[in-house]
Amino acid sequence: MKSHYQILVIGGGTGGIMTAANLLSKNKSLDIGIIEPADWHYYQPAWTLVGAGTYDFDKTKRPMSSVMPNGAEWIKDYATIFKPEENTVETKENGAITYDFLIVSPGLVMDTSLIEGLTESLGKGVVCSNYTDPKHTWDVIKNFKVGNAVFTQPTTPIKCGGAPQKIAYLAADYFKKNGLKNKTNVVFATPGSVIFGVKEIRESLMQVISRYGIHFKPFYAPIKIDGENQIVTFKGVGTGENKCVINEDNELREIMSGESIIEMPFDMLHLAPPQTAPKFVKESPLVNEAGWLDVDKHTLQHNKYANIFGLGDVAALPTAKTGAAIRKQVPVVTDNILQLIAHSKKGNKSYNGYSSCPLVTGYGKMILAEFDYDNNFIPDPKLKQMLVFNSEKEHWRLWMLKKYGLPYLYWNKMMKGKEV
């Protein structure tokens, strides 16, 4: 194993693989090493559909060796310590590896310790998560018979911020189709103030919530899970008029204590676990105060170390953490590094915060939210031309895009480094 690379990539996920492949497509002579310990590469966007029983889990994974770009060297190891002053990354098995340029894209990790009782409860009984085991989610949904089906998310940033509500809509549709609508209270509880930050999408989603009769609970932050007694505890994070309110009929059987603590019984609980940067990143000199990789939001260059770039879920970017965001980040990182190698100065490309969230709203229905740093709705012109309708409205063609089009695009274009 070599101890020095011209370009060293941390992470064999979407960001790391696509950037390395894209760089090599522009210049085959580049010397690139990719540090990644995992045996499998997963297409996680399909896990929403796995959790609803409409996608095969095994089709979401491929051997890591099959996605490694030709021309890059796979270092099957764990990165453990960054030493940016010395252009060095320490690894678990292979010791120190040095670099001219470093690309940091290891994704994020689930930290169940941030919600009391979650570590003990998650994956057991009726407490499930598409983020960790979507097959278990499907078991819970199809075995559900009556009561409160609660869907929630944490106060931390999470990958694909729309995922916790997508599975709520799919479950509500499943219950409706199977005659359980009148026996079920579907609850979507979020620490956020609105269902979605983009106005056009928010208006469409409120219609979806109304159609299913979902109990929408903004300003609800989950703080404790009691899996044995099936109670989830929330803390109200609103102020003034935005405090948590128990409705007069209280069909959810909520119990309030003090000004802002609410206990809610559940017969099914799905949640996104709290998520953070990996420990070796969080404890490095590369992060901001919040513990995320400190990069410029337009150039994706590290704010302190000019030969380090970061992208994907680990980056401190004020936009949604999605594969679609990475798709637009990769050309910026690639251009900057190639220009620095050739001319010792960054390129002119700039990332505008583009991200997109395919919001599945039922079986055969989807809305496509595309937006930038300012929460402007920015539909892709090519897609609009192809679909010939507004993607902020539900449509079956968008469902087909989610189930068939996007996985094809991912494996055959993005993983090959093609800009799409």
Give the active site residues: 160, 357
Q: Give Dmax over CA atoms of the chain in angstroms.
A: 69
Sign of the C-alpha dihedral, residues 233, 143, 131, 323?
A: negative
User: Which residue type occupies 158?
Assistant: I
CA distance to 48, 141, 218, 322, per residue, from 363 (Å):
11, 14, 25, 22
| CA–CA separation, 120 and 273 (whole Å) | 13
3-state secondary structure of 330: helix
3-state secondary structure of 159: strand
CB contact burial 131-170 (16+ within 10 A = b; e otherwise): bebbebbbebbeebeebbbbbbbbbbbbbbbbbbbbbbbb
Burial (CB count <10 Å: 0-12, 13-18, 19+), residue 18 = buried
| CA–CA separation, 201 and 204 (whole Å) | 5
